[in-house]
Amino acid sequence: MPYFFIQEKSSIINQSGKDALDLLQRLTTNDISELSIQNPIRTLLTNNKGRIIDSILLFMDADRDLNLLCDSGDTSMVIKEIDRFTIIEESNLYDNSDQFARITAFGDVEDLFFKEPFNINTDSKNEIFFEGFKIILLEDRTKKAPWYELIVKKENLQQITNILVSLNCTQANEMDLNSYCIYNLIPSYNREYGIHTNPIESGLVDLISFEKGCYVGQEVIARIHNYNKVKRAVVLLKLDKPVSIGDKLTIGSSIIGEITSFGGDHNLIALGLVKIKYSSEGTTYSINEGEAKIMRSSK
Amino acid sequence: MPELNQEKIPINTIYITKNAAKKVNEFAKRDGKEQFGLKVAVKGGGCSGLQYVLEIVDLPNENDKVINHNGIEVYIPKKAFIFLAGTVLDYSDGLNGKGFEFQNPNAKSTCGCGTSFSA
């Protein structure tokens, strides 16, 4: 089934200036030198301790303006962090969140945008004009499951919603999207990743370039990776009883980790952040009065 | 080793050691430049957040602070100067040499290779 979810806040920052892309290349984890209109790139803003400040989907619009789609929803924090390192660079940031709406499409949406009525040709542009309004469509290939972001002007939100419903795309709530993330082992901000984790333990190693050179936090992240110092992993758990976020996972009397997300039918699947030594598939933990068994692991 | 103790460097300037000045002159000569200056700046990036910029240029920019030390004209963008005030730029070569090296009193921490710092 195809689904769409209307995000509460679009969290879009526009970045202009001749040094904008070069500055982000020096501040974030992924190699963004191949960013183009056809190729949005997800990257991580980390601090000098290698901890994640935000996960950002970078995209160019048809005017070749640089835009940052922030997962944290906290655009002021991202602007402040980038501004802190903007010294001699020509780079300006504007919070465009109020102007745009953001819709996340997921599930069986692969064909939805590439045939009638949208008929998007991703080889040429990520923008289409449809029934008089503009839609920016971004495929996020880093999610490891079908995932698209649609950006429209706020005044066109109802129109795009009507179109998606007419195409049998079901409007999802936050728990639906949360369950999709859990089933597909997709880490979420402030749960499986955030300022409490480094990218590798959060299963976001694909968002790191180990060849591009220095960025803020690179030294710590490279050391964790090269010396195999990863201490935790994200695991998909099957539960026999509902749990809450923060509930401790134990083996014997030892705390091995904790629940970071839960969802699915009857809330019986969850993601947990656990010690890597105990993160192999099939491992069973005790939790509250029940059990949690690892179905998949990010390690 | 720099010929000045860093404690004696006035904080409203940056100091180019004789070794560094000599090497800058060599690079400029190699590039065929007779009139030049050394741009010293700071930009975002590097493991610790801020990294040094060293560049041989023809002229200063409009808002650059201009300093002359050991025969080298140094151009520092005003926005970068607050991160560089009191810095000694040295040069060491040979097998154990590190090349150009910044001794920056504003740096709270530096990365392993010494090319970036936090302030």
CATH value at residue B52: 2.60.300.12
| Tens of pLDDT, residues A100-117 | 999 999 999 878 877 777
Interface of A with B in 211-250 (CB under 8 A): 214-220
Three-state DSSP at A59 gives: strand
| Tens of pLDDT, residues A138-184 | 989 999 899 999 999 999 999 999 999 998 999 999 999 999 999 99
pLDDT at residue A73 greater than cutoff 80: yes
Q: Which of A244, A237, A291 is nearest to A269 (CA)?
A: A237
User: Measured between CA atoms, how close is A139 to chain B, in angstroms?
Assistant: 28
Domain positions in chain A? 2-181, 185-297
Contact list in B for residue A26 (CB cut-off 8 A) is 43-46, 51
The band of B93, judged by pLDDT with boundaries at 50, 70 and 90, is confident
Nearest CA in chain A to B43: A87
User: Measured between CA atoms, how close is B78 to chain A, in angstroms?
Assistant: 9
Q: Across A131-192, where does the E strand assignment appear?
A: 133-139, 147-153, 170-171
Q: How many domains does chain B have?
A: 1
Nearest CA in chain A to B115: A214
What is the interface size between A and B, counted as CB pairs within 8 Å?
Answer: 65
| Tens of pLDDT, residues A281-290 | 999 999 998 9
What would the two tokens of residue A211 be?
Answer: 């060849």
Contact list in B for residue A21 (CB cut-off 8 A) is none
| Tens of pLDDT, residues B42-89 | 999 888 889 999 999 999 999 899 999 899 999 999 999 999 999 999
pTM here is 0.90
Options 3.90.1150.10, 3.20.20.140, 3.30.1360.120, 1.10.240.10; CATH of A2-181:
3.30.1360.120
Q: Which residues contact A260 (CB under 8 A, 6 or more apart)?
A: A188, A191, A192, A234, A245, A270, A271, A272, A273
CB–CB of B47 and A27 under 8 A? no
Q: Is there a domain that residue B86 lies in?
A: yes
Spatial distance between the Cα atoms of A297 and A281, rounded to a whole number of angstroms: 6
| Tens of pLDDT, residues A131-147 | 788 889 898 999 989 99
Q: Is there a domain that residue B65 lies in?
A: yes
The band of B8, judged by pLDDT with boundaries at 50, 70 and 90, is low
Predicted ipTM?
A: 0.80
Contact list in A for residue B84 (CB cut-off 8 A) is none
CB–CB of B44 and A26 under 8 A? yes
Judge whether B106 is closer than 8 Å to chain A, CB to CB.
Answer: no
Domain with B32, as residue range(s), is 6-118
Q: Is there a domain that residue B96 lies in?
A: yes
Contact status, residue A197 vs residue A232, Cβ threshold 8 Å: yes
pLDDT value of residue A202: 97
CB–CB of B80 and A87 under 8 A? yes
Q: Is there a domain that residue B1 lies in?
A: no
Contact status, residue A279 vs residue A299, Cβ threshold 8 Å: yes
Q: What percent of chain B has pLDDT over 70?
A: 90
pLDDT at residue A47 greater than cutoff 90: yes
SS3 helix, strand, coil % of chain A, rounded to 5? Answer: 20, 35, 45
What would the two tokens of residue A2 be?
Answer: 């195809």
CATH 2.40.30.110 corresponds to the domain A185-297: yes
Spatial distance between the Cα atoms of B26 and B91, rounded to a whole number of angstroms: 12
Q: Is there a domain that residue B83 lies in?
A: yes
pLDDT value of residue B91: 92
What would the two tokens of residue A115 be?
Answer: 């045939």
pLDDT value of residue A272: 98
Q: Which residues contact A132 (CB under 8 A, 6 or more apart)?
A: none
Rounded to 5 degrees, φ, ψ at A53 are: -90, -45
Q: Cα A243 from chain centroid?
A: 24
- Pairing verdict, β B37-44 and B72-77: parallel
Give the pLDDT mean for A236-260: 96
Instruction: Select from A27, A88, A214 the Cβ nearest to the Cβ of B79.
Output: A88
